[in-house]
Chains A and B, each alone.
Chain A
Amino acid sequence: GDSVTQTEGPVTVSESESLIINCTYSATSIAYPNLFWYVRYPGEGLQLLLKVITAGQKGSSRGFEATYNKETTSFHLQKASVQESDSAVYYCALGPNTGYQNFYFGKGTSLTVIP
């Protein structure tokens, strides 16, 4: 079936360290899925961080990057130097490319950045 698996949290890193949150997906019913990272900051709603719709392309936002790798079915989220304000819960998600298919989220990875 279609699913998303991501790094289990919680993850704790120190400010200015690098970060990678792994995400792999299975898309058996969606031929060319769109891939997303969503984020929930404390006290806020779920919001889009970045989106990539083409295999091989990289998305970036707020210093985060993720590359859509169809060969390894991965979409890992990376940041070279995290800040305390990056503390949040991050969700990898798999979405349709036609609008008539479902949307699948990972369980979320809670990140705490220590100053």
Chain B
Amino acid sequence: EAGVTQSPRYAVLQEGQAVSFWCDPISGHDTLYWYQQPRDQGPQLLVYFRDEAVIDNSQLPSDRFSAVRPKGTNSTLKIQSAKQGDTATYLCASSFRLGGLDQDTQYFGPGTRLLVL
């Protein structure tokens, strides 16, 4: 079974530039999460989806960040005008709600390391 895939793996930007991150979750997983992980910190949830619906985006800086999951499968996280403080690794994870011990266990992709100069 394929795991969670993300692209690109690395991105380097100047302040003010835009960038998009793409995530393909594990097939059959209905829930998808985006996390921001600054250096030497734990992952911090930005937004998560159940199918195509946003369940919680309260931690997403809405003026510059956006996330979509239009068909309830792949997802895109976009930063419109990057700032140096956005430098971090962006992680995507997926899980499924129903059934068994694996319920709600999150499986993570390799992440995208973003550096904003």
For B111, give its contact among A4, A45, A100 (CB under 8 Å): A45
Instruction: Please determine whether A34 and B108 come into contact, CB atoms closer than 8 angstroms.
Output: no
A45 in contact with B33 given A4-B42, A105-B44 (CB within 8 Å): no
Determine if B104 is an interface residue (Cβ-Cβ < 8 Å).
Answer: yes
Q: CB-CB < 8 A to A99: which residues of B?
A: 31, 50, 95, 97, 103-104
Known A46-B91, A100-B55; contact A105-B107, beta-carbon cutoff 8 A:
no
Of B44, B50, B108, which one neighbours A46 at CB under 8 angstroms? B108
Picked from A51, A102, A105, the residue with its CB within 8 Å of the CB of B42 is: A105
Complex contacts, A96 vs chain B, CB 8 Å = 104
A58 to B31, CA, bound (A): 27
CA distance A91 to B35 in the complex (A): 14
Partner of A47, one of B41, B45, B108: B108
Count of B residues near A, CB < 8 Å?
26
Please tell me if the beta carbons of A95 and B42 are within 8 angstroms of each other in the complex: no
- In the complex, chain A residues whose CB is within 8 Å of the CB of B15: none
Known: A46-B91, A102-B56. A51 touches B43 (CB 8 A): no
Residues on the B chain within 8 Å of A97, using CB: 104
B33 touches A103 (CB 8 A): yes
List chain A positions with a Cβ less than 8 A from chain B: 4, 34, 36, 38, 44-48, 51, 53, 91, 93, 95-97, 99-100, 102-108
